[in-house]
Amino acid sequence: ACQISSTTFIQKSAMPLQDDDDDDNDKIDTPSKTPTSTIPFLLADIGEGISEVELLQWYVNPGDTVSQFDRICEVQSDKATVEITSRFDGVVERLCGEVGEMMFVGKPLLYIAVDNAANVGGVGGGAQQHAAAESVDETTQQATLHNVVDESDRLHIPTDESVHSNSDSHYGGRKGSESEGEESGIMAKVLSSPAVRKMSKDYSIDLGAVMGTGPGGRVLKADILNIINARDSKAKPTGSTTVPQVSSALSQIEEDTVIPIRGYSRLMVKSMTTSLQVPHMVYADEINVNALTVVRDSLRPLAKEMGLNKLTYLPFFIKASSLAITKYPVLNSTIDVEEMTLTYHQSHNVGVAVDTERGLTVPVVKRCQDKSVLEIAEELGRLYALAFEGNLSEADISDCTFTLSNIGAIGGTYMSPVVLPPQVAVGAMGKIQRLPRFVSDTSDEVESVRIMPISWGGDHRAVDGATMARFSNLWKAYVENPSSMMFAMR
């Protein structure tokens, strides 16, 4: 456990002996350095009832000099990744956790030596910190009483513009060789997440030479993995038989291993445990997506001209859900069992389940009722890029009122999707398959049809089977005849 210490440094220069008859003006003044105090830097309240976070990485080391708003560390809660910045100007004395450890709100992240004079009346109550230098006991008391809520403005969600906003303090500010500083300076000019920068450094990949495929030329983890895979393929001898490689993580497990549940997986444990209290009902159907395929393919060139590189089925499914919700708003409600109330939400905030290396996360496309199919597709692209890099903000994953899972992209047909309380409905699209179907009930003629299974899960306390069936039929009508959506749009 970290101990709080307070020190005051006063340095006096050597003074020569003076004769009794020397003038006062000949006396040498005693210079002194400004007193400093070691104070705790506490983890602020991130909100949403979060009391602990996982420490992903430090941006500072003991002995580093930091300024206000310099990045201190990156942490991940159950819902989002957050960068924490400094509240003070000072020198880092001690770190209070290792990467991978859980840090608790209101507890010290690190201890920092600050200038008493500079911090009196400064950000976050410097006068209190100055007084804390008088004694260890008093400092401890001040740390307990310290208002960590005031630190909320120092929390920072990584974005394209801000990933490198304090790169000088992280890279150039540390002591090291000139080559390391030059390399870090180049990396800081490339839009990428800390995880991507670390991976590129581990594999000796020059980020400046990588063509980023993310928004604004952002280098994604997939870009780095493609380079690594290309290297591996070149290293394989030609003419040899390639044996499928088993995952190194699995092949190296020779005994039982305990792995802590962290990040997004912790949220899934909590939400799935809560979902056990929901009496589920499931409704399934199959959708003919022949017409939708034609419409999507015809719109792809136009979407590319408008800056959208990839147009999938999902934006159409989301828009169809929003239009169907307009007629059946109970599907877009949340339930409060204790108060025995249903809240019908004005905004159609559709969450989309995304499978990432960090686990399952559900970013939210907000106000789908006001967005076009193209706007929904653009927002999905932004959310996907952030999700795969672990940089989703709290706003990106909150206020979900209805959820869709495109599990069919991986495989499977019919599902039993689980409702995420307090929501009351969820949909899961299965794999699209080319199957034979009769042209009509009265004809023996068979045609080739692209069929997609759809499975709906509902909270039976709020949604009955008849309502779910009618909602599904309307959604099906929009998807099977995409042109009909134009009549319902405003």
Strands (E), 256-349: 280-288, 333-336, 341-344
Helices (H), 92-133: 116-119, 126-132
> Could you tell me where the beta strands, DSSP code E, fall in 204-275?
none
- Residues noted as catalytic: 460, 464
d(C-alpha 482, C-alpha 144), whole Å: 60
- By the 8 A CB rule, do 152 and 123 touch? no
For the chain, the residue count is 490
Tokens 């907000």, residue located: 366
Neighbours of 214 (CB within 10 A): 23
- What's the N-to-C CA distance of the chain in angstroms? 60
Nearest alpha-carbon partner for 107 in 134, 75, 133: 75
Chain center to CA of 249: 24
Tokens of residue 262, six digits: 């962290």
103: number of Cβ within 10 Å: 17
> Could you tell me which of 291, 282, 298 has the C-alpha nearest to residue 451?
291
Determine the 3-state secondary structure of 313 from DSSP: coil
Question: Closest Cα to residue 76, out of 100, 106, 97?
Answer: 100
Can you tell me the distance from the alpha carbon of 282 to that of 78, in angstroms, rounded to the nearest whole number? 28
DSSP state of 208: G
3-state helix, strand, coil in the chain (%, to 5): 35, 20, 40
Cα separation, 80 vs 387, whole angstroms: 9
Q: What is the DSSP letter of 423?
A: B
Query: Torsion angle of alpha carbons 303, 305, 308, 312, nearest 10°?
Result: 30
Structure token digits, residue 402: 């209805």
- Identify the CA nearest to 217 among candidates 21, 22, 439, 385: 385
In whole angstroms, what is the distance from residue 262 CA to residue 259 CA? 9
Which tokens in the block code for residue 252? 């190296």
In DSSP terms, 457 is beta-bridged to: 282, 426
- Are the CB atoms for 288 and 451 separated by under 8 Å? yes
